[in-house]
A and B are shown apart, each in its own frame.
Chain A
Amino acid sequence: MIRLRWGDGVVVALATALVTTSFALSYAPAAGPTHLVVTQAGTEPRHYPLNESRTIRVQGVAGITEIEIQSGRARCLRSPGSRGICEAAGWLERPGDMAVSLPNRLTLQVQGPQRRFDSMHY
């Protein structure tokens, strides 16, 4: 029914290229997190690299928070909070992911080379 012309092919090809390029530029996979930042009330934030596996024990006002770093990610292994909120955050593996222990007044956040938003709403 439609008599397609060569210009249609050019237009559709250019438009497809524009869409593909915009997706590639905007949604290029972000580099994984490179370090863990432990922020505790009353102390300087401490940075730990994520490329070496280790377990960190942080003494807080309510007890000891145990943090596990393994293969580029980190998690809250044990924390004194009775509701297990810190542990429930699971593995922190994307830049911006965060676990919080309110009883120990500390936050754990993994960060990449650039700060990123953890979520967007509109």
Chain B
Amino acid sequence: MTTVPALADRRIAALAALAIGLQVIEAAIPSPVPGIKPGLANVITLVTLVTLGWRAALAVTLLRVMGSSLLLGTVLSPGFWLSLAGALAALAVLAPLLRLYPRHLSALGLAVTAAMAHTLGQFLLAWAVIIPHPQLPLLLPPLLLAALITGLVTGILTASVLADPRIQRHVFDPSTNQSG
């Protein structure tokens, strides 16, 4: 007997696959400074969040962190925990802000918030557990500046993805938008 996955499950799987793909591609791009990268997978998290709600966004995020670290060979390494901490911090801040979308806050505001929370969450874990060095806060300002810039970029990307009718046809469905 075969079971057909529910529509929501298939959507989550498809979005997680996209996010994993983006994160793996991004890992191949050399970065001038460790810890600074565009965070394109965040676009998928945001699209999931505003179309399917925060539970689906949490599922996609966890699948992305686990799936991409399996492919990159970083499961349970410091990078894995940093990735997880950043992703969960971003979601924790985004979930309450979702009430303001789209009337008071657009995808741009969500993306900037997510990027800043991601960087701060990662930094706090790094400082508290992985590298508890008194001079580590010197790294925070450039990382936050990078988060602001990449947040603006991913926000613009998210808004254009959400505005695209081809994406809306596949992803957006008002009947499943009740959980948000």
Contacts and interface: CB of A to CB of B under 8 A. Distances in A.
Interface string A86-122: 0000000000000000000000000000000100101
B93 to A, nearest CB: 11
B138 A19 contact: no
Contact of B135 (A10, A22, A120): A120
B92 interface: no
Given A15-B151, A19-B145, A2 B108 contact: yes
A60 B33 CA distance: 45
Given A18-B116, A120-B135, A4 B106 contact: yes
A13 B67 CA distance: 35
B140 to A, nearest CB: 5
B107 interface: yes
Interface in B79-124: 100, 102-109, 112-113, 116
B148 A5 contact: no
A8 B141 contact: no
Contact of B140 (A12, A16, A22, A120): A22
A91 B133 CA distance: 30
A4 to B, nearest CB: 6
Nearest to A27: B141
Contacts of B112: 8, 11-12, 15
Question: For chain A, what secondary structure do more than half of its interface residues adopt (helix, strand, loop), or is it mixed?
Answer: helix
The B interface, classified by DSSP as helix, strand, loop or mixed, is helix
Interface string A3-29: 111111011100110110011001100
Given A26-B137, A26-B141, A19 B148 contact: yes
Contact of A2 (B106, B148, B151): B106
A22 B160 CA distance: 31
Contact of B141 (A2, A4, A15, A19): A19
From A6, A7, A122, name the one whose CB has the most chain B CB atoms within 10 angstroms.
A7
Nearest to B142: A23
A120 B140 CA distance: 15
A8 B108 contact: yes
A7 B104 contact: yes
A1 interface: yes
A1 B160 contact: yes
Interface in A53-75: none
Nearest to B138: A26
Given A11-B109, A120-B138, A5 B103 contact: yes
B7 interface: no
Closest 8 A/B residue pairs (Cβ): A7-B105, A8-B109, A11-B109, A2-B159, A22-B141, A23-B141, A7-B104, A19-B144
22 contacts: A1-B159, A1-B163, A2-B108, A2-B155, A2-B156, A2-B159, A7-B104, A7-B105, A7-B109, A8-B106, A11-B108, A12-B112, A12-B148, A15-B112, A18-B116, A19-B141, A19-B145, A22-B140, A22-B144, A26-B138, A27-B141, A117-B135
